[in-house]
Amino acid sequence: MNRNDPDTLDLLAAEFVLGTLGGAARRRFDRARQADPFVGRRVRAWEVRLAGLTFRLEPVTPSPAVWPSIERRIGAAPARRRHGLMAAVAAVAAAAALGLGWFLWQESREPPPQAQALFADEAGRSLWRVELAADGRTVEVSTIGAIEVPEQRSRELWALPPEAAPVSLGLMPASGRIRLALDERQQAAIGLAPNVAVSDEPYGGSPTGAPTGAVLHVAAIARS
Amino acid sequence: MAQFAGMDTEPEVSRLLVACARQDRNAFQRLYELTSPRLLASLIRLLSNRAAAEDALQDVYVQVWRRAAQFSSDRGSAWVWLIAIARYRAFDLRRRERRPATDGADAIESIAADEEPHESRMALGRGATAALDHCLAALQEQQRRCILLSYQNGMSHAEVAGRLGEPLGSVKSWIRRGLTALRRCLES
């Protein structure tokens, strides 16, 4: 790291903090920052300068399950909590009964998903395809049609295990496809669930860990 | 809507972190309640996925608990320290999974580079963020957009170029010039 070129060094520090410094250059710079306090101070100065940008984002309260997991991982006994979520389940059941409909999706690919579901709107237009990977540890969500999500709202995917509260699997994309990694609780929930649902939530997803907005779509899970 | 902590909570956050270094679990829980909504917002943007962001959030607070002693010896800003841990954790995860910043980020595209400050910033301390706002506003629009896109969404130069439909070379130079101008403004 060339201390004789402070402007370049400072820009590298700025791009390290920004995240635009990538690959081998980032690893080299990271080593230099840890080895050389002069470089470390430059990085710190940029962390301070740019930290305010984090406060421009709307805060998102974590799901209630996060804190007990942290407690477990640091060796503390987690507190037990219960949620009364049956109202949400009832809403979903009602929506399903209203015939929002479900569709199966068959497609041969390697390795084939162990289960899949297709969300459609009331007019029968396909919206999202949801596939549970063969190992049951990830879900892939692909958009099919044009999906409009109002600003400051998100669409959240839920597994609906029988006689249990809905379990969030993540946020739905408005276009393209995403892969959601499932933790053990999510894997268990989707393993048992006959249906999945999509709810309307504040931007970033439900703040409570349970559906808070309208259940927009329900789809049956077809298992291979 | 609940009132969320801003940078003006720095003295309390700093005090809680120092207590965490003494293994005070109540302080740790309070620290989590106070600061996690801000860190989660940042992680959701950087990882484009709430479930992955909440997993990363766990990693971040486990690290905070274990490394709290390092903070008290550093005596920097507690918020800056927490934000840095969260961001670098997200960068690590992204590199490991080779997850592009655009993947799944579309749902938030419309507000990807908020030109307008969010209302929650009403709760912020005046000094530092007001100066940053002022200096951001003084940048050229392209410079500001590029810097916000890369900082908030963790986009590389190429991803910013792709998102804005601008040449890579221009994006690189806007970011460099923007950062230089930002520093000059903040130091003046």
List of residues 6+ apart from B52 with CB closer than 8 A? A170, A180, A181, B93
For B149-161, letters b (16+ CB in 10 Å) and e give bbbbbbbbbebbb
- Average pLDDT across each block of 10 residues of chain B; the chain has 188 residues. List them in order: 69 92 92 96 92 96 91 77 95 78 42 38 51 92 94 91 94 96 92
pTM of the shown model: 0.60
**Residue A218: pLDDT band by 50, 70, 90 thresholds?**
confident
Q: Which residue from B6, B50, B114 is facing A171, i.e. has the nearest CB?
A: B50
Nearest CA in chain B to A73: B62
Would you state the pLDDT for residue B89? 94
B14 touches B31 (CB < 8 A)? no
Would you state the pLDDT for residue A5? 83
Would you state the pLDDT for residue B101? 58
Higher pLDDT, A43 or A174: A43
Q: What angle do CA A161, B53, A171 make, to 5 degrees?
A: 50
Quote the tokens at residue B20: 């965490």
Nearest CA in chain B to A14: B179
d(CA B55, CA A180): 11
Q: How far is A199 from chain B (nearest CA, A)?
A: 14
Residues of chain A with Cβ-Cβ distance to B184 below 8 Å are none
Radius of gyration of chain A, Cα coordinates, nearest whole angstrom: 22
Mutation choice for B interface testing from A16, A18, A42, A55 by most B CBs within 10 A: A55
Stated as kind and residue range, the H or E segment containing B26 is: helix B25-47
Mutation choice for A interface testing from B40, B60, B63, B79 by most A CBs within 10 A: B40
Across the interface, whether the CB atoms of B7 and A55 are under 8 A apart is answered yes
Would you state the pLDDT for residue B78? 93
Would you state the pLDDT for residue B149? 92
Q: Where are the alpha helices (DSSP H) in chain A?
A: 6-18, 23-35, 37-50, 66-73, 86-97, 184-192
- Say if strands A115-120 and A138-143 run parallel, antiparallel, or are unpaired: unpaired
The pLDDT of A152-176, averaged and rounded, is 86
Would you state the pLDDT for residue B116? 38
Across the interface, whether the CB atoms of A180 and B120 are under 8 A apart is answered no
Q: A89-111 pLDDT, tens per residue?
A: 665 555 555 444 433 333 333 47
Length of chain A: 224
Would you state the pLDDT for residue A107? 35
Residues of chain A with Cβ-Cβ distance to B149 below 8 Å are none
Mutation choice for B interface testing from A10, A15, A18 by most B CBs within 10 A: A18
Would you state the pLDDT for residue A194? 87
The pLDDT of A52-61, averaged and rounded, is 91
Q: How far is B179 from chain A (nearest CA, A)?
A: 7
Residue position matching structure tokens 């690919």? A109
